[in-house]
Chains A and B, each alone.
Chain A
């Protein structure tokens, strides 16, 4: 099983639609989780952190399900400008002097259609 798995898509959705992506991870000790947005051939940019209690930022909602080991990203009222690739990022607990492996999902491509 891969450390972090995402459906690469593409997800083609009409403007105004609600779309959700999931990302599963294999390390149950993983400590922190993020969603990044990456526009074509540009650097990934932080979209939002994912907290155990779930968190919302405008039209975006992120949730963590530790029991099933997945995180999700929900986008409501999709805009054309939301078209991008969404990467999930999973980080194990920091350990003093220890190996630190940040794992990126392959990314899910979203295309919002007029």
Chain B
């Protein structure tokens, strides 16, 4: 089954404790992206990647890191989480250069930073 898998689904942690949210897709998509969603603000892009070793900042990259060492994986790293990073996070992937193809989303990760 074609899917985007995020882990963990839920995480409660404390300020300053490094964490990683993993994202993996099995569709051989070149493009992957991380979003956060907050009430009243909609989906905001954190980072995106056009292919292996090609990443760039989205609209709200501060406090986040990503890497793309393999095509299928795109982890989101919070080196020193803070309470303002409490949010619902989505990973998505997409075929490049096909305007008719939509983004596919993971199930989401709910992060609470205390």
Contacts and interface: CB of A to CB of B under 8 A. Distances in A.
Contacts of A102: 33, 45, 94, 103
Contacts of B110: 41
A32 interface: yes
Contacts of A100: 31, 48, 50, 96
Binding site secondary structure of chain A: loop
Interface string B75-114: 0000000000000101000101111101111111010000
B56 interface: yes
Q: How large is the interface on B (under 10, 10 to 19, 20 to 34, 35 or more residues)?
A: 20 to 34
B14 interface: no
Contacts of B35: 104
B108 A107 contact: no
B12 interface: no
Nearest to A34: B102
A49 interface: yes
Interface in A95-114: 96-97, 99-102, 104-107
Given A94-B97, A96-B97, A100-B48, A106 B108 contact: no
A44 B90 contact: yes
Given A100-B31, A100-B48, A100-B50, A32 B100 contact: yes
Contacts, number: 55
Nearest to A43: B105
Interface residues of A, number: 27
Contacts of A8: 40
Contacts of A104: 35, 42-43
A101 B45 contact: yes
Contacts of A34: 102
A93 B99 contact: yes
A8 B107 CA distance: 23
Contacts of A93: 99
A104 B33 CA distance: 13
Interface string A69-109: 00000000000000000010101011011011110111100
Interface of B: 31, 33, 35, 40-43, 45, 48, 50, 56, 58, 88, 90, 94, 96-100, 102-108, 110
